[in-house]
Structure 1
């Protein structure tokens, strides 16, 4: 073949393809069928559908198709194809429905028809909803409503949306839409829509447990369906009412509706009839599709008679269109799979978000509750511990001393429990941060063990500190939280060890330019922990068993706090234990160190060195009982005091009188203790101010110090700590002033 003839064939092929594609975009001017004629056809098809004569409805619409094709009326063809598609959806024949939907779509590509575009989306949404892709269906329905304001289409969209909302249990939205449809003014389907709305409300109320209301709507639906021969709805209403009245235990009515149901099934809506409807619909559809194929065959025969090269061009163009069609079908299938997957993912994401929000709300509620409870308990507990201390100092009778000591022990035990709860609450709420200040490890450990010595003596148990002197003296870290960790672990070991020994071991594991790794171990030869108990020993309120809890007491929060505090240092608690042999808790900490710092000279005075006589202190406290207790505790040490009932009185008193110190409550009506401290610091930067407060979940020690407080004593407090803090702050300030 010559190059010239090849160019000729190629040119003809291009022209043919352009011609074929162009034919989809150009049509003769619409010559609309008479509106009255088509309105009659649509009404007849609609009536047949509502009476479940679906095959007859399809037959009527197919005949209308022939008229529309003869008159070359694309918009009417779109309407008919879409209505046939919806009828096949009623028969659950989604493949045939897609066929007619695609035929309508092909025409819409070259026709400006917003109602047709809206109806296409309604069909897509209906198929998605039937395939249980609820969220994708809702999105598609919203898009359809934006394209057209056709009353009948909007009402059907609202009905479909209501059905979906019932399925996903959005009952309020569903009820609003269904109540509107009960009183709809739809010219075409007013009664049918009201019937479907009553059925929807019956189902909605049944799911919410409103059986009486459900029965009422079910009977209303049955009445409308019976009057208008809506056979499918009659069947559904009877079926539903039989179930509702059975749940209401009105068995006579339930039996009556069951009999009605059987009669309807036997006469009007048998399975055989449904099969026949489907078969007839398939027959009609097959006939229509056969006619279309026959037309194409005749066109092909006409083309085959032509002996010129246009025959080859037409064949190639047809092949091209077939390939494009196959690609379109493949893309459509892939898109359906993608939509279904996206719908599933969206549903799961929605469920996860709901679960997450519920968990966050529950955690927040728990945190707020515990914070409020622990804070409110501190105020009356302050009165208990304070009055007990005062009574013990007033030389009570011997038989009273025992009771008062028991009361003091109970108060301190309750205080420790409240502190543990607050600590756990802060950890759960991520309100705890590790400090980075200079400290001496050996001093921290010695202080902790000294404070526990009395408890050790009660159990006839020896505490031994095995300290590695290669550990640098000056470390950087959080000595307060490290003290809590060691105190909880050693206290726990002492609780379960009698007539034995508790070893506190520290070893230098590694060291580089400015960091070290220290190994800590607390070992005892107490009762030990079984392997089963070790699995949950670090959980809140766990002590191994109920028997252990009753015998040895305690809250079961100590090890939980240890585990959480070590998490702040990126460390983890480990455990080795054997029944009747003992237990060993161990962990490692990374710490910074400073070797170059010269050993500090301590100027701190012990409590016995303080002479409080002649001191004058301002107590800022709004609680009357707390005022009395704090004043008596100060007077016993020879300290005189004034009382301010709120922050404003405190500011005025500090301006007009000279005090050696101020004890400032933080939580007061009016301006808070923090604000009062800030204002006092504007005219007096020297006076020691000690925050005396029942610290709560939202309180921050940093904010107290930032406001100008020199120190913090948490209520309720131990008297020795109270006096020590006052002495340190007053006399340290005087020592610094003198030097």
Structure 2
């Protein structure tokens, strides 16, 4: 009997190990749904038979599966349980493998110091065992760690070190994965650190793709598409970049669906066992109940039969009700999964769109800076009349394109919730007058009259975000000016309510222009929406302005309203709450709407231009020298730091995105030994950049590229005059 029991236990252990092996093989070929089913079955047998020695392998397999499915938090919890089972092991290969996987999981969770600690533990064990194959896996892990840390050159060295071992050992998955990571690092490394990294990245990607195509590694194919999209962006191929990014998103979604289906399949297998147990328990309860009923009611056989029939019918009814409830629950769960999947897909699509538009608008700014800058320089060189006409057309087109890019960037920031409200004290009447001055030329060109009706009962000192309010008013008033000819645009501001420290104001912008139809009024505030195709052809524009207005007012806790009739004009109105300030202090020119520059005061000032793009260097230098400023150039951030240490400059114009150290890092290094020199960020701002970070890093001012020359010199002059100091760090 003892021998039979021992044999049964041995067979059970063998069966569990076989299930664990099959699960590991399924993971290696990325058959995740089968792996989950095998692991759940193995886990049941372990729990039922109390096989403590096999629990570590089971948890390790679950951790590895969740790691490949990018479910890193679950992977971490499983690997930590695994380590509790292995606390007695010292130098086993299983412990080293667990340490390696733990390091990779922590890397993905950005717990870099802990990740490095576990990878070092694994490397020490493998080195003692002289196990070069598994040691290569650890080296690859170090490479991934340095890649995530941003140490790209160091990461590439690790990848190059482990690739020969993977090739000799025919470890194709590891080889392909490492080639992809290497390509990713090469796309980010500076050309000063690695020679011709872009070409090498394409070679590494080709090597990975050859293996992926031959072996069908779907997860690696996802990364391949992402890196291909990045290469296309660097090559200026926007269509191909978007194509591969969409493929990347689609496969990521399919992997998520496989994961969801796999878990559902595993849960179905587990639930079927539970249901069977429940049915057996229910039947046993019925039998016991029937026995008690027969013992208590032996007086008549008829009564006993009647009771049995009643109980049977009741049991059948309950069984059917349970089935209906189970089906309803399953249906509800399926719908919830579908809704969650649709929600995540929509969020990913929205993120992909925002990232793509941000990248494209940023990349467009560099060549556009060359266009607007060279146009300005040519107009300054006394061109012929016919040349001047062409150059003015080119200038107008460049400014129009810049306006479109800025609108797209503003809308992206609003939709990505990257816009924050500021609270500063300002004069509302002065702010509105500045907006009207800025739009006066546009109004005069269309023979329109701008009129302000301002309630004098409104407090002079308000607290809010004057920049966002100005942006709303510029869009609304500018829109009315554009769609009105030989007419009038009236701006009305009145007080609705006031308490001791709050005031509610009513704003109206009314015109007697072309008006908007009832049908189009419903969609006029949607992105890229315009009143009609004819309106677009006649007046131009993108339809972004009113969408920006709607988003900004919602951010301010308000809502835009519209009243309009075709041929008679339109009226836009909204209400906004402001705080009332006891103190008043406002920048005389916060929006640079009126440019007031003493150009003589700028003559012979020493300027350091930090810029890696040669064309941009030439344009900026010529614009400065035409105004009799003395200009030196640094090709990168490190050269700039060295030049400031050795020479004296009146002001620095610093680019942000450069090889080596960035403009922010260079500014921080300069501030370590020179806290007084004015530094202006001259950069193409993207959706991911927070302007407050620039001021915290030590910049005095920011000039987005491309710029209007008047604004360029106004900000230089104002910064030199000491009107805007860097934010304290």
Q: TM-score, normalised by structure 2?
A: 0.57
Where structure 1 has 5 or more consecutive residues not aligned to the other structure, the ranges are 1-113, 115-134, 149-295
Using the TM superposition, give the Cα deviation of residue 609 of structure 1 relative to its aligned residue in structure 2, in angstroms. 6.5
Tell me, in whole angstroms, the C-alpha distance in 1 between the residues paired with 2:389 and 2:400: 16
Aligned match of 2:476: 489
CA distance in 1, matches of 2:702, 2:305: 90
The counterpart of 1:360, out of the listed 317, 323, 347, is: 347
State the 1:733 CA deviation. 5.7
Post-superposition Cα deviations, 1:668-726, rounded to whole Å, max 9, x if no partner, equal 12211111111111111111111111001111101111111111110000000000000
- Counting only pairs closer than 5 Å after superposition, residues 133-152 of structure 1 correspond to structure 2 as 146=44
For the Cα contact (< 8 Å) 2:718–2:724, is it kept in 1?
no
Q: CA deviation at 1:476?
A: 1.3
Could you list the structure 1 runs, at least 4 aligned residues long, displaced by more than 2 angstroms after superposition: 138-148, 308-331, 596-606, 732-736
* 5+ residue gaps, structure 2: 1-11, 13-32, 47-286
Q: Does the aligned pair in 1 maintain the 2:528–2:543 contact within 8 Å? A: yes
Q: 1:368 to 1:735 in 2, by over 3 A?
A: closer
- Following TM superposition, by how much is the alpha carbon of 1:309 offset from its aligned partner in structure 2, in angstroms? 9.6
| Match of residue 593 from structure 1 | 580
Q: What pairs with 1:262-277 in structure 2 (closer than 5 Å)?
A: none
> What whole-Å deviation, never above 9, does each CA across 1:148-179 have from its counterpart, x for those lacking one?
9xxxxxxxxxxxxxxxxxxxxxxxxxxxxxxx
What per-residue deviation string (whole Å, max 9, x for no partner) do you get for residues 346-391 of structure 1? 2111211221222122112211110111000001111111111111
1:665 paired residue among 645, 648, 655: 655
User: Paired residue for 2:703?
Assistant: 713
Following superposition, the deviation at residue 140 of structure 1 comes to 14
CA deviation map 1:631-677 (0-9, x unaligned): 11111111111111111111111211111111111111221111111
Residue in 2 aligned with 1:126? none
Cα deviation 1:460-489 (Å, max 9, x = unaligned): 111112222221112111111111111111
Q: Is 1:614 equivalent to 2:598 in the alignment?
A: no
Q: What is aligned with 1:701?
A: 691
Q: Is the 8 A contact 1:610 1:727 kept in 2?
A: no
CA distance in 2, matches of 1:309, 1:379: 95
Residues 671, 600 of structure 1: alpha-carbon distance in 2 compared, 3 angstrom cutoff: closer
Residue 400, structure 1, aligned to residue 400, structure 2: no
Distance 2:647 2:662 in 1: 21
Structure 2: how far apart are the matches of 1:575 and 1:735?
Answer: 42
Output aligned runs, 1:280-679, within 5 Å: 311-312=298-299, 324-594=311-581, 596-597=582-583, 606-608=596-598, 611-679=601-669
* CA displacement at 1:317 relative to structure 2: 6.8
What corresponds to 2:715 in structure 1? 725
Q: How many residues align?
A: 447
Q: Aligned pair in 2 of structure 1 residues 733, 515: CA closer, same or farther (>3 Å)? A: closer
Deviations 1:489-542 (A, max 9, x none): 111111111111111111111111211111111111111111112121111222
Shift of 1:143: 7.0
CA distance in 1, matches of 2:440, 2:302: 103
- For the structure 1 residues 603 and 356, does the alpha-carbon distance in structure 2 shift closer, same or farther, using more than 3 Å as the test? closer
Q: Deviations over 1:288-316 (max 9, x none)?
A: xxxxxxxx9xx99xx99xxx998329877
Q: Distance in 2 between matches of 1:651 and 1:438?
A: 37
| Contact residue 381 and residue 411 of structure 1 kept, 8 A | yes
Equivalent residues of 2:366, 2:684 under 8 A apart: yes
Cα distance in 2, alignment partners of residues 635 and 314 from structure 1? 117
Q: 1:571/1:734 Cα in 2 relative to 1: closer, same or farther (>3 Å)?
A: closer
Contact 2:654 2:679 (C-alpha < 8 Å) held by counterparts? yes
Q: Output the CA distance in 1 between the equivalents of 2:510 and 2:378.
A: 39
1:3-41 deviations in Å (ceiling 9; x for gaps):
xxxxxxxxxxxxxxxxxxxxxxxxxxxxxxxxxxxxxxx
Q: Residue 627 of structure 2 aligns to a residue in which SS?
A: coil
User: Helix, strand or coil: the match of 1:445?
Assistant: helix
3-state SS in 1 of match to 2:491: strand
The change in CA–CA distance for 1:457 and 1:731 in structure 2 (over 3 A counts) is same
- Between the aligned partners of 1:671 and 1:735, the Cα distance in structure 2 is 24
Q: 1:497 to 1:310 in 2, by over 3 A?
A: closer
Q: 1:734 to 1:718 in 2, by over 3 A?
A: closer
Conservation of the 8 A alpha-carbon contact between 1:576 and 1:584: yes
Distance 2:589 2:528 in 1: 42
RMSD: 3.3
